[in-house]
Structure 1
């Protein structure tokens, strides 16, 4: 990079807290990612661009990344994925046993950067550079029960990769993406004192239906824990549940959906689980052009609201000049309008709770070993 370009780029980065968003956008436009060339020193940016791959390492932690069957999700993971998308490269997200291993990999050039809650002392001891993964938006993280000490750690401060990354993160703070991601991955979506009741329900009822969940999930190549989480959200795993609107059974199917899925008795647990899984699988196929984990969330919203309602929202998002196939945009629309639309409020709660139940079921030894 020419020295004048470097100065201009750093000026943009150093002005993030004072510049309006439009001006920030101009900073990025003025110096496109592909025009950033490394100096004679070898930078991670070169490796990322040349290999079209961003390698990120982190300790597996619900605040950062969670393994959902074959897929990953989490506040930190989504943020890194969006950064990789902005560079038009593939994300290779690896989990490691501890923060020390993550920092070591960065120091040795084995990872583009690390996402970590390691202390500043340990980061500086390895002569690494770091910045806040929320650009200092600790309020959004704290109120959603997320660790506000989450940092992105790079090998060199003058690497264009760390510079573009800090710019990306601060734009995400400025345009609300940080707060929206934090809101969706809210660790407090279920009140702490409710978990004892949830744990009791799951311990008592899940053993009865586990075989059906597992067999059906295998048939549709789904994670049975996710099906169980949907079932708990729908009915608390009670096969005789009936709602005021007439949906019933463990998976709370409407009469028309049940018939379409081949379910003759909605209160029969096995049939309900089979019908619910088949319908959920159809929703996944409907959004097959959307990558995971976003596809899961779209399918859940469609399961709850109906695919027609999702299509209408996507049209509105598109009319606003945003990508209707990005979960952060769909979630932001629902969350922004939930105060005036009870259906949206219910759907936001529906998806966030299922995510929370899924994580609980997969990480609680008593439930995993049932």
Structure 2
């Protein structure tokens, strides 16, 4: 559908931004802002196929991406990563400082698409086209504290790249993948009023154990912030912690795991951190065939449930005809069955809270140092 006037394009955008976009959801139609002569347009799709690379540009924000050193994760990042996988190409994800730069890259052909929350009037003024990154699933985004105004922006509506992207986005909405991804990246998994208490805990306890986390993380080539996030989830960083099931210490190791990791005293903070890091590193190695960031989530639930339990979950996911090495499928299985198995609900809370704690610690100025 082409728009021949500003008012027409504005009407199209408003229709798309609401949940009353049935025509788009069913037909996966693209909404251009201006008529474009396809014969004069160089298709980005050809560049993607020929280079075997999808170049995506975005501005760092809680809905799109969280950058943890060389590792990235986030709702927008995971969504576009899955799209690149569907095209069987590599993802080249670039982060810029502002939406204006992201749009400029698309206009100049430096990026194949942009993920942006820029105002539609700005996008329209650049003679670019856009559509909702969730096919208008505002409800799932808002329920999980994510920005419902996240859009994918392309240079041309006639480009097969924008057309395949629109198909992918609306299929993801229809098969529930978008909703599950939004649920995993829920910004409200920790209640807003709890952060003051968490920050007080960290200010009081983390300085005591920071050196141990850093030293041990360096030994196993891990991020010390992640180890600290695991420790906070496990014990609130209290070395004398003990659970009703008998796990103990900052990293809450079972007696058998502690022995296997060479820990003789589980309530000794240094030994506990060492043992927890060693065990987590082993879990990462177990899932080395799974790309990052998903590998981290598999390792975390294995740390929580045990790798044998994760193996059984993967087996059941495969029996349903789905890829058991894709986190969104394992997450969906846990979410669907948590009512009948309390351990599944605990595992979901475990991994999502650690993700939240990691992002918080990593974003707090006093803990940013490597």
- TM-score normalised over the length of structure 2: 0.90
Tell whether the 8 Å contact from 1:283 to 1:303 is kept in structure 2 after alignment.
yes
- 2:239 alignment counterpart: 239
In the alignment, the residues of structure 1 paired with residue 273 and residue 149 of structure 2 have an alpha-carbon distance, to the nearest angstrom, of 41
CA apart distance, 1:48:
0.3
In the alignment, the residues of structure 2 paired with residue 368 and residue 109 of structure 1 have an alpha-carbon distance, to the nearest angstrom, of 34
CA apart distance, 1:165:
0.2
- 1:113 alignment counterpart: 113
* Residue aligned with 1:17, SS: helix
5 Å-filtered alignment, 1:31-42, equals 41-42=41-42
Tell whether the 8 Å contact from 1:203 to 1:366 is kept in structure 2 after alignment.
no
Tell whether the 8 Å contact from 2:241 to 2:252 is kept in structure 1 after alignment.
yes
- 1:218 alignment counterpart: 218
- 1:345 alignment counterpart: 345
* Residue aligned with 2:253, SS: coil
* Residue aligned with 1:225, SS: helix
Tell whether the 8 Å contact from 2:123 to 2:129 is kept in structure 1 after alignment.
yes
Tell whether the 8 Å contact from 1:181 to 1:328 is kept in structure 2 after alignment.
yes
In the alignment, the residues of structure 1 paired with residue 369 and residue 218 of structure 2 have an alpha-carbon distance, to the nearest angstrom, of 18
5 Å-filtered alignment, 1:6-45, equals 17-18=25-26, 41-45=41-45
Q: Deviations over 1:96-141 (max 9, x none)?
A: 0100000000000000100000000110111000000010000000
In the alignment, the residues of structure 2 paired with residue 50 and residue 41 of structure 1 have an alpha-carbon distance, to the nearest angstrom, of 17
Q: Deviations over 1:335-368 (max 9, x none)?
A: 1111221100000000000000000001112333
Q: 1:210 to 1:176 in 2, by over 3 A?
A: same
In the alignment, the residues of structure 1 paired with residue 227 and residue 47 of structure 2 have an alpha-carbon distance, to the nearest angstrom, of 40
- 2:227 alignment counterpart: 227
- TM-score normalised over the length of structure 1: 0.90
- 1:193 alignment counterpart: 193
- 1:318 alignment counterpart: 318
276-285 or 360-369, larger mean C-alpha shift: 360-369
User: What is the root-mean-square deviation of aligned Cα atoms in Å?
Assistant: 1.7
Tell whether the 8 Å contact from 1:45 to 1:161 is kept in structure 2 after alignment.
yes
CA apart distance, 1:14:
8.8
Runs of 4+ in 1 over 6 A off after TM superposition: none
Q: 1:242 to 1:306 in 2, by over 3 A?
A: same
* Residue aligned with 2:114, SS: strand
CA apart distance, 1:70:
2.0
* Residue aligned with 1:67, SS: strand
Structure 2 unaligned residues grouped into runs of 5+: 1-20, 29-37
In the alignment, the residues of structure 2 paired with residue 16 and residue 127 of structure 1 have an alpha-carbon distance, to the nearest angstrom, of 21
Q: Deviations over 1:205-227 (max 9, x none)?
A: 00000000000000101000000
- 2:183 alignment counterpart: 183
CA apart distance, 1:41:
3.6
- 1:132 alignment counterpart: 132
- 1:167 alignment counterpart: 167
Aligned residues: 342
Structure 1 unaligned residues grouped into runs of 5+: 1-12, 25-37
Within the alignment, does 1:290 sit opposite 2:290 as a pair?
Answer: yes
Q: Deviations over 1:29-70 (max 9, x none)?
A: xxxxxxxxx967411000000000000000111210011232
* Residue aligned with 2:25, SS: coil
